[in-house]
Amino acid sequence: MPHIAVGKENSGDIQLYYEDHGSGDPVVLIHGYPLSGASWEKQLPVLLEAGHRIITYDRRGFGRSSQPTTGYNYDTFAEDLHKLVAHLKLRDFALVGFSMGGGEVARYIGKYGSKGVSKAVVIGGIPPYLLKTADNPDGVDGSVFEGIQKAVTADRYAFFTEFFKNFFNTDVFLGKRISEQAVQASWNVAAGASATASLACVPTWHEDFRNDVARIDVPTLVIHGEADRIVPIQASGAKIAKLVKGSRLMAIKDGPHAVSWTHADEVNAELVNFLGKGAAKRAVSTSQ
């Protein structure tokens, strides 16, 4: 199981768990809260088949990565990603972020620029700015985030149970597009996350990414469920598409937050179309 050390906390290394599969044009998949890189299981085989090298990793505090009590902010998350990219010596790589992962995509380019980044994809992402303010009237009221923090503090396990109902819109899709077992599997991953991270990540959801998004200058695809109850499309996906010149918005009808699972076929088709067929492209250019 490969890990990379991205820092230290007292006597211990802070290590990120990652997986590196396939060959071809690299694609880095960045998961959402409160899951891990394993949540991309519906996308992994399709993108491998399309000829890409796929890198997934677990954000600090989640999955099989270390669970420090520090570093739960987007500058650190982007730095962690940058260290992974440098460690793997990636070039011409695509960044694909879901939910919180969309924040890493934005902050990475905002902080380090787009050199080496070929394309960007944001699925149900939290940029550009989720918090309702005088200059951002379409945002989410701050009391919502405060309520989530209180719920996580009181009983994060009970919170996760309620959270996943709206994550997958189970009242609509349970037994149709997602099983009880798949929801339970997500809950199990969430329960294994750091208690510190589970709480500390919540205020990062209303980070102001507007300056970061303004720096995105690579081909960009935005995918968002029209019925997203976690991150409303009008507060996020629709705005990213307007702010990033030449980007494309794919709004999934009736799609919940976790469209990468419930609407995997539609998402995968769009990803393959946007990212291209890595090995096939090179084979053609080599033969010519």
The residue-averaged pLDDT of 73-99 equals 98
Residue ranges of domains in the chain: 3-287
CB-count exposure of residue 175 (10 Å: 0-12, 13-18, 19+):
exposed
The CA radius of gyration of the chain, in Å to the nearest whole number, is: 18
**Alpha helices (H) in 176-257, listed in sequence order:** 180-191, 195-200, 210-214, 237-243
Residue pLDDT, tens place only, 169-221: 999 999 999 999 999 999 999 999 999 999 999 999 999 999 999 999 999 99
* pLDDT score at 277: 74
105 contacts 122 by C-beta, under 8 angstroms: yes
* Active site (catalytic) residues: 99, 228, 257
Architecture of domain 3-287: 3-Layer(aba) Sandwich (3.40)
pTM score, whole prediction: 0.95
Residue pLDDT, tens place only, 2-57: 999 999 999 999 999 999 999 999 999 999 999 999 999 999 999 999 999 999 99
* pLDDT score at 278: 60
What share of residues in the chain are helix, strand, coil (percent, to 5)? 45, 20, 35
The answer, yes or no, to whether residue 282 has pLDDT greater than 70, is: no
